[in-house]
Structure 1
Amino acid sequence: MGYKTILVHVDEAPHSAARVLMAAELALQHGAHVIGVALTGVSRFLYQNEMVDDEDPNLAQHLDVLRERASRALADFAPQLRALGVHGFEERVLDDEPGTGLALVARHADLVIVGQALPDARSSSPAAFPAEVLTESGCPVLVVPNTARPRGSISVTPAGVASAGSPTPGRHVLVAWNASKEAARAVREALPLLAGAEKVTVAIIDADLRPAAFGDTPGAEVLAWLARHGIAADVQVRQAARQGLLKRPGDVGEVLMGLAGETGCDLVVLGAYGHSRFRETLLGGVTRTVLESMTVPVLMAH
Structure 2
Amino acid sequence: MTYKTILVHLDEAPHVAARVLMAAELALQHGAHVIGVALTGVSRFLYQNEMVDDEDPNLARHLDVLRDRAARALAGFAPQLRALGVQSFEERVLDDEPGAGLALLGRHADLAIVGQALPDQRGTAASFPAEVLTESGCPVLVVPHSARPRASISVSAAGVASAGAPAPGRDILVAWNASKEGARAVREALPLLRRADKVTIAILDADLHPVLYGETPGADVLAWLGRHGVTAELVLASSPRQGLLKRPSQVGESLLELATERGCDLMVLGAFGHSRFRETLLGGITRTVLDGMTMPVLMAH
1:69 corresponds to which residue? 69
Aligned amino acid, residue 106 of structure 2? A
Comparing 165-174 and 268-277, the one that deviates more:
268-277
Give the superposition deviation at 1:281. 5.3
Match of 1:44 in 2: 44
Does residue 7 of structure 2 align to residue 10 of structure 1?
Answer: no
Amino acid at match of 2:110: D
What is residue 110 of structure 1 aligned with on the other side? 110
1:172-183 mapped onto 2 (5 Å cutoff)? 172-183=171-182
Deviation of 1:89 after TM superposition, in Å, equals: 0.0
**In structure 2, how many angstroms separate the alpha carbons of the residues matched to 1:262 and 1:49?**
52
For this pair of structures, how many residues does the alignment match?
Answer: 297
Hey, what's the Cα distance between the residues in 1 that align with 2:57 and 2:212? Answer: 61
- Residues 281/220 of structure 1: CA separation in 2 closer, same or farther (3 Å cut): closer
Partner of 1:151: 150
Q: 1:127 offset after TM fit, Å?
A: 2.7
Structure 1 position 218, deviation (Å): 1.0
Mark the CA change 1:172 to 1:282 in structure 2 (over 3 Å): closer, same or farther.
closer
Go from structure 1 to structure 2 and tell me whether the alpha carbon gap of 1:201 and 1:16 turns closer, same or farther (over 3 Å shift): same
Unpaired runs of at least 5, structure 1:
none
Deviation at 1:280, TM superposition (A): 6.0
1:220 aligns with 2:219: yes
CA RMSD, Structure 1 to Structure 2 (Å): 1.8
Are the counterparts in 2 of residues 17 and 150 from structure 1 also a CA contact under 8 Å?
yes
User: For 2:272 and 2:105, how far apart are their aligned partners in 1?
Assistant: 22
Counterpart of 2:286 in 1: which secondary structure?
A: helix
Alpha-carbon distance between aligned partners in 1 of 2:56 and 2:279, rounded to the nearest angstrom: 35
Instruction: Say whether 1:253 aligns with 2:252.
Output: yes
The verdict on how the C-alpha distance between 1:150 and 1:161 changes in structure 2, with shifts beyond 3 A counting, is closer
Contact 1:203–1:236, Cα closer than 8 Å, also in 2: yes
Distance in 1, Cα, partners of 2:97 & 2:211:
43
Task: Look up the equivalent residue of 1:114 and give its one-letter code.
Answer: V
Do the aligned partners of 2:83 and 2:155 also contact (CA within 8 Å) in 1?
A: no
What 5-or-longer segments of structure 2 have no aligned partner? none
Cα pair distance change 1:160/1:272, threshold 3 Å: farther
- C-alpha change, 1:242 and 1:230, in structure 2 (3 Å) is same
Task: State TM-score, norm by structure 1.
Answer: 0.93
Distance 2:175 2:224 in 1: 15
**Is the CA contact (8 Å cut-off) linking 1:9 and 1:113 kept in structure 2?**
yes
Describe how 1:1-302 pairs up with structure 2 within 5 A.
Answer: 1-121=1-121, 124-155=123-154, 160=160, 162-163=162-163, 165-244=164-243, 247-250=244-247, 251-273=250-272, 275-276=275-276, 282-283=281-282, 285-302=284-301
CA deviations 1:37-79 (Å, max 9, x no partner) are 0000111111111112111111111111111111111111011
Deviations 1:256-301, CA, capped at 9 Å, x for gaps = 0110001000000000247338x66555611111011100000000
Q: Percent identity?
A: 75
Q: Secondary structure at the match of 2:45?
A: helix
SS at match of 2:11: coil
- Structure 2 length-normalised TM: 0.94
Give the CA deviation at 1:119: 2.6
